[in-house]
Structure formats: structure tokens, C-alpha cells
Amino acid sequence: MAMTTHRNLEKIITGQATRDGAGVKLTRVLTQDLQQRLDPFLMLDHFASDDPNDYGGGFPDHPHRGFETVTYMVAGRMRHQDSAGHEGLLQNGGVQWMTAGKGVIHSEMPEQESGVMEGFQLWLNLPSHQKMCAPWYRDIQSHEIPQVSTPEGVLVRVISGEHHGTTGAMNRPADLYPTQPLYLDIHFLQSAPFEQFLPPGHRAFIYVYRGQADVLGARNQRHTVGAQRMGILSNDGDVLVLQATAGTRVLLIAGQPLMEPIAQHGPFVMNTRDELIQAVQDFQRGQFTA
Ligand code: FE
């Protein structure tokens, strides 16, 4: 008989209310002090408001280097334009996956004047050998994201990685992209359990953006993660088991840690301070506008 070990809930994190870009109100869920613990993930922001004063300013032109941004739009419309000539509209249930690589300057601007805008931006680190790769991006429309309905009544949107044999919208070879990110959006349509395989050692966390979810850990441990809370999961164990009631929505994000030094200066994330100085110089010399 195959033995499985449940992941435990290790810690509950309350995000920090802040503003970024041109005054966009958001909650920074994954902050810089958690970057080592949640390697390869560098940041997670949750924005959600029906007040245009909270999001109307958007994110005008700004640079990035050395990592990837993954923007998941739950509701609303945002237009993306970058210095590599890419442009796309991100809306209702879609994802934009951008590899900044050696450098892009881009803008992320709302295309709505009213209504709800809600979504997430995740920063995923690149391994040192990929940090200076050519910029790349892909717009993934909502209908391109595979969905699975479990017999228990849970709808799973597989953005990246794999859930019970269903492969996500973004999947790349492990030799080039060793972090192998799992990104699931889990909707509990009724009171139900949910199970997901997680490779032991992969760093993993959940973020509950509606309702509340119980983590059913090893040795009958059971802990509740409330709304707008992140739950950091233990690194050992190979299965996550959740239990939640109808209406609960949870992001599950996991990946293989890079175990490399992390040096961050604002929108630049490299391995060393010298590389950050180089990034600032290259940006100031206009070398991001390929
Ligand atoms: Fe950006």
C-alpha cells in the first residue's frame, strides 16, 4: 500500500494593505520577508475593489528584470503593453504570463471605468541561467484554462501544473524551468473535500479569497484558514487535503525552490548586488527598450 503524508498548515499570514503603481489599492499577501521560505515565489498581490478610485490609475510604464509576473484576472479588464512590442487584453478569468528576463518596460492599465476589478499578481523567480533570457509573454484567455469538476463538487481551474491528470494552461520542460509551478484556482461548489498531490520539498501555500478552508494535516491536525488569509504549508508530505463549504475559493500555489541567493531592488530581482547595480544602470541607459 502506498503511504501518503498530509501537508500541515504551518503558519497563517495576514496580508499588508498598500498601494502600488499609480495608487492602485491592493493587499500584499506574499511580502519580501517570506521570499526565502516560499522560494521560488517572490510576491503575491490581491486587488479587489468596485471603487474606480482604487484601481483607475493602473500601473503606468515601469521596468522588470530577472523573474516572471503571472497576473490572474478574476473580474475586470486590463490592457498590457510592453517595450518588446507585445500588447494584450487581460479579462474575466484570463491570465497573463510574462517573462521579464533581461528586461521589459510595460504598463498594466484598467480598461473599465466602473464595476469590480479583482485579481492577483504573482512573481515567480527565474533560475540564474534564465534571468537574462529574452522577454516573453503569453495571454491565456479564460476558456484556454482547463477546468476539472471533482465528483465531490469542486471546480478546479488548472492554470499551471497538473491536477489529477489534467495538465494546466502553462507547462514547460523541467530542465529549462526547474521551479515547475503549480497554480490552481479552486472553487468549492458545495461542502466538499479537495486533494492535491504536491511533490515533497516543493514550497506551497494557499490563499483563501472567499469563505474559509480547513487544512487537514498529518496526525489529524485540522486548522482553519479564513478569508483573505494565506496559509503556508509544511515542506514535507506529498498530499494537501482541504475541506471547505460552498462558495469558498482558494488559490493553491507550489513550486520547487531554486535555493539561489535572492537580491531585490524594487522591480529587479537578481542573485547579487552587483547584478542589481547593473540592472539599474542598464535601465537608466535605456537598454530595456529592445
Ligand atoms: Fe509590472
Domain boundaries, the chain: 9-284
- Helix, strand, coil shares of the chain as percentages rounded to 5? 10, 50, 40
C-beta neighbour count of 5 within 10 angstroms = 14
For residue 290, what pLDDT band results from cuts at 50, 70 and 90?
Answer: low
3-state secondary structure (DSSP) of residue 53: helix
Q: How far apart, in Å, are the Cα atoms of 143 and each of 159, 197, 252?
A: 11, 24, 20
Query: Is the pLDDT confidence value at 1 over 60?
Result: no
Instruction: Please give the helix or strand (H or E) that residue 250 lies within, else none.
Output: strand 249-255
Q: How far is the CA of 90 from the centre of ligand 1 (A)?
A: 13
Q: How far is the CA of 153 from the centre of ligand 1 (A)?
A: 36
Q: How far is the CA of 85 from the centre of ligand 1 (A)?
A: 15
Q: How far is the CA of 98 from the centre of ligand 1 (A)?
A: 9
Q: What pLDDT sits at residue 2?
A: 60
Q: What is the pTM of this model?
A: 0.97
Q: How far is the CA of 106 from the centre of ligand 1 (A)?
A: 6
With 0-12 / 13-18 / 19 or more C-beta atoms within 10 angstroms meaning exposed / middle / buried, residue 17 is exposed
Instruction: Please give the helix or strand (H or E) that residue 275 lies within, else none.
Output: helix 273-284
With 0-12 / 13-18 / 19 or more C-beta atoms within 10 angstroms meaning exposed / middle / buried, residue 286 is exposed
CA distance linking residue 143 with residue 65, whole number of Å: 30
Q: What pLDDT sits at residue 204?
A: 98
Taking residues 31-40, report their average pLDDT: 98
Residue 65 grid cell: 528584470
3-state secondary structure (DSSP) of residue 286: coil
Q: How far is the CA of 63 from the centre of ligand 1 (A)?
A: 7
Query: Is the pLDDT confidence value at 289 over 90?
Result: no
Q: Which residues, including other chains, have CB under 8 Å from residue 144's CB and lie 6 or more apart? A: 169
CATH 1.20.20.10 fits 9-284, yes or no: no
113 or 178, higher pLDDT? 178
Report pLDDT digits (tens) over 85-120.
889 999 999 999 999 999 999 999 999 889 999 999
Q: How far apart, in Å, are the Cα atoms of 148 and each of 145, 157, 274?
A: 10, 7, 45
- Smallest Cα–Cα separation from 268: which of 147, 173, 140, 126? 126
Q: How far is the CA of 114 from the centre of ligand 1 (A)?
A: 22
Report pLDDT digits (tens) over 210-238.
999 999 999 889 999 999 999 999 999 99
Using H for helix, E for strand and C for coil, what is the string for 146-204? CEEECCCCEEEEEEECEECCEECCECCCCCCCCCCCEEEEEEECCCEEEEEECCCCCEE
Residue 208 grid cell: 483563501
Which residues, listed in sequence order, are joined to residue 67 by a DSSP beta bridge?
Answer: 125
Report pLDDT digits (tens) over 133-159.
999 999 999 999 999 999 999 999 999
CA distance linking residue 118 with residue 75, whole number of Å: 5
Q: What is the mean pLDDT of the chain?
A: 96
Q: How far is the CA of 25 from the centre of ligand 1 (A)?
A: 15
Q: How far is the CA of 22 from the centre of ligand 1 (A)?
A: 12
Q: How far is the CA of 267 from the centre of ligand 1 (A)?
A: 8
For residue 176, what pLDDT band results from cuts at 50, 70 and 90?
Answer: confident
